[in-house]
Structure 1
Amino acid sequence: MNLRTILQVSLLFSFLTAVVMMTNAQENEFVFNKKVNYQVTFLSDSTDENSRQTMPAELLLNDTNSLFWFLNKSIKDEELAKPNAFPSPSIGFAPGLVNNENYVILKNKDGEITVYDEYSGSDLRKLMQINVYKERINPEDWQLTEETDTVMGLAVQKAVLQFGGRTWEAFFAPELPIADGPYKFNGLPGLILRIQDRTKSWVFEAKDIKEVDQKVVVNNKKDLKVVPIEKKELYSQRRKFQQDQAFARQGEGDGGIESAENRKQAEERIKKDNNWIELN
């Protein structure tokens, strides 16, 4: 093969690589024109009211897709997408805990839900892959009721759903004809402005709705594989990740007393981290 041929092959390879990269970027790039800000309150320990936490989240919408994530997740992804970004320190999860809110949920107009989950953290120090699974909530899964209320000054109607081992009570606004809502919830004849499980240990409530022009590139982290997984297996891996962290602590410290205490503390954190949003 002469030099000219080698150069031609090299240029062709570079062109094809660029095309593939551009195609993948386009497939993962979304532009949204509406944003709903939610306040999410939840108990990390279902037996302890003092474990209640509050986190901001957002639902981004366009005519064909929606994206839901927690604000901490969106900020971290934006930082890591910057040129020459360096993996930042972990965002404060102690050994024995996992980041249960480190995911992106995409929904399309046909009701298909795609979840990209990075439960081990978004700092890239240990994370090697992004787990992805699909599921669906059908409109007929909802049970409409006659109960009404008001959220953000809008009339809402109550609907009930059995999902993820919980009974969910949603309040949707018929005058906002958007069949979507926070987390994975969708399929009602109006935007869900508030939804809570029956125990009120998880509550999503809309705070405002804005017109935006926001571009989001999903899975923009370099060198990470997107690996299909069953949801049940993902939750099993989360628990194993917790246990592996706790067991690793027994080798730390100067002597058995400190290492045993570290492990005990990690195991106690696991015990108290008992109220994941989906129980099965």
Structure 2
Amino acid sequence: MSKKLFLFFILFCNNFLFSQKADSSYIECKYLVTFLIDTANIKTQKKEIASLLIGRKSSIFKSNQKAFADSLGIKMIEKSMNNPVDGQVVINASALPSAKFKPEVFYSDGKVTIYDKISRDGYRYDLNNKIEWKLESESKIIQGYQCKKAVCKYRKKIMTAWYTDEIPIQEGPYSFKGLPGLILEIYDDKNYFNFSLVGLKNTKKPIGSLPNGIDTTYEKFYKKRKERMDDPLSSFFGTFGKLPPKGSEEAIIRNIRNINNFLD
């Protein structure tokens, strides 16, 4: 049996076998996420592996580094609870690895929810506008799969996706879903963001939920982020409850405004 037929067979069987376990994946897609932190500085380009766990009715997309940090954090908490210091649970959060690509995306029952952070605060909001895809005739081979081209407008970006109907699931990295097959590659018109498939395997893993955060709307989230960019010093005070050290104001303003490339 060829690789493609075997994968399709596994997909079909797992859809049936896991019908009562929608919180478990049957396939894991690993993507190389390449993106700029500062659109004016090519040297700020970052790369990180992120995984898309797909179940029968739900999926989750997050950085592998973030998943590792979450797992390590749980172990640190358990260890600290079993070995308290002076009756207190002490956790060294600085020992946890930091992910470069921070957003997480959860899909369930036709609803896409995005988790992202502004400074130290985490926010969760639903993606209310369905992506309108335009299917095109152009095609190419990616990872041995025949892929077709599709484009869409996502916020202020024009996105180009390459999907394969050889894997007939309407999934993809981040919040990009709804095409006739799995998205293997997607990027914006300026290539500020690029998601490229680097691995695909059948696996059964729990599909967890998003971290706790402030439930909001995209409009309110966008406004909050813009306020931070427009007035970094007020944002610093709001986060830390004090003014920045004397002489550090320019560096704080520069550091906050140099993080200016967002998908949403």
TM-score by length of 2: 0.75
3-state SS of 2:220 partner: helix
Cα 1:39–1:50, aligned 2, differ >3 Å: closer, same or farther?
A: same
What corresponds to 1:162 in structure 2? 153
Q: Any unmatched runs of 5+ in structure 1?
A: 1-28, 94-98, 122-126, 253-258
CA distance in 1, matches of 2:157, 2:258: 19
1:94-125 alpha-carbon deviations (Å, 9 max, x no partner)? xxxxx8843321113x531012334445xxxx
Aligned partners of 2:60 and 2:207 also within 8 Å: no
Pairing partner for 2:204 from 213, 229, 234: 213
What corresponds to 2:223 in structure 1? 236
Percent identical among aligned pairs is 23
Structure 1 residue 237, shift from structure 2 partner: 2.5
1:141-180 to structure 2, matched below 5 A, reads 141-180=132-171
1:197-208 to structure 2, matched below 5 A, reads 197-208=188-199
Q: Which amino acid aligns with 1:156?
A: C
Q: Any unmatched runs of 5+ in structure 2?
A: 1-21, 81-90
Structure 1 residue 138, shift from structure 2 partner: 3.3
Q: Which amino acid aligns with 2:103?
A: Y
Structure 1 residue 92, shift from structure 2 partner: 8.2
Aligned partners of 1:246 and 1:266 also within 8 Å: no
Q: Which amino acid aligns with 1:196?
A: Y
Q: Which amino acid aligns with 2:27?
A: K
Aligned pair 1:65/2:70, yes or no? no
1:130-145 to structure 2, matched below 5 A, reads 130-136=122-128, 138=130, 141-145=132-136
1:16-165 to structure 2, matched below 5 A, reads 30-82=23-75, 83-84=78-79, 86-89=91-94, 101-108=101-108, 110-121=109-120, 130-136=122-128, 138=130, 141-165=132-156
Bigger Cα Rg:
1
1:43-73 alpha-carbon deviations (Å, 9 max, x no partner)? 1111222221111111000111110011222
Pairing partner for 1:263 from 226, 249, 252: 249
What corresponds to 1:194 in structure 2? 185
Aligned partners of 1:250 and 1:263 also within 8 Å: no
Pairing partner for 1:272 from 230, 241, 258: 258
Aligned partners of 2:36 and 2:45 also within 8 Å: yes
What corresponds to 2:5 in structure 1? none
TM-score by length of 1: 0.71
Structure 1 residue 78, shift from structure 2 partner: 1.4
CA distance in 1, matches of 2:95, 2:188: 30
CA distance in 2, matches of 1:207, 1:137: 29
CA distance in 2, matches of 1:30, 1:81: 20
Q: Root-mean-square deviation (CA), in Å?
A: 2.7
Aligned partners of 2:32 and 2:198 also within 8 Å: yes
Aligned partners of 1:111 and 1:138 also within 8 Å: no
Equivalent residues, number: 225
Structure 1 residue 236, shift from structure 2 partner: 2.8
3-state SS of 2:204 partner: strand
Cα 1:100–1:41, aligned 2, differ >3 Å: closer, same or farther?
A: closer
CA distance in 2, matches of 1:101, 1:240: 22
3-state SS of 1:215 partner: coil
3-state SS of 2:174 partner: coil
